Amino acid sequence: MATAQLAPIANDFEIAKVPVSLIGITLPALTFALSIDRIMNGVTRPFFGWVSDNIGRENTMFIAFGLEALGIWALSAVGTNPVLFVILTGLVFFAWGEIYSLFPSTCTDTYGSKFATVNAGLLYTAKGTASLLVPFANVLNTATGSWHAVFLVAAFLNALAAIMALAVLKPLRNAHSAKESALNVATPRTA
């Protein structure tokens, strides 16, 4: 939603062309947000990969999805401020980009490396499938007359994903790992 709708959101907030100065650079808010978003989305991948290697995949997902929920909620509350729009969209993209490092590694950790590429490819189709929901953001925006409801739904779904990372994915992965360990003990490998 954020990628496809950033320009309409900035235009509806009437801040798209408002100059924003940060870190010694002045650009229109929309241009600045789009530029920062690309940078943050790239930085997040190795960062959250490193974090997950240290605290675990699901714990990292909880942090990232929670951060994204907070960022989207804050965008709904104060996103009409051009400077905060730029900063918060950067935060949202920083939190969102973790999926590219965590999802494939979680899938491989869970199901092994034998079909890791096929599994990651199938997993990646979820992004394309999710893009089919983008028009519903426009419907909700039109029905309510603002982006506020769209942001609240997106923030809620991110908060739900954060909770599910710990309450559903972590136990599922632990159960799968325990099952795999039991199978390996029951059928020792021969050289």
pLDDT the model gives residue 189:
62
More confident residue, 129 or 68: 68
Asked whether the predicted pLDDT for residue 67 surpasses 90, the reply is yes
Asked whether the predicted pLDDT for residue 48 surpasses 70, the reply is yes
pTM given for the model: 0.86
Q: 3-class DSSP state for residue 22? A: strand
pLDDT the model gives residue 3:
67
Phi-psi region of 14 (alpha: psi -120 to 50; beta: other; left: phi over 0): left
pLDDT tens track for 110-140: 888 888 889 888 888 887 887 888 888 888 9
Closest CA to 62 of 111, 109, 100, 95: 95
Domains of the chain: 2-179 (1.20.1250.20)
Asked whether the predicted pLDDT for residue 27 surpasses 80, the reply is yes
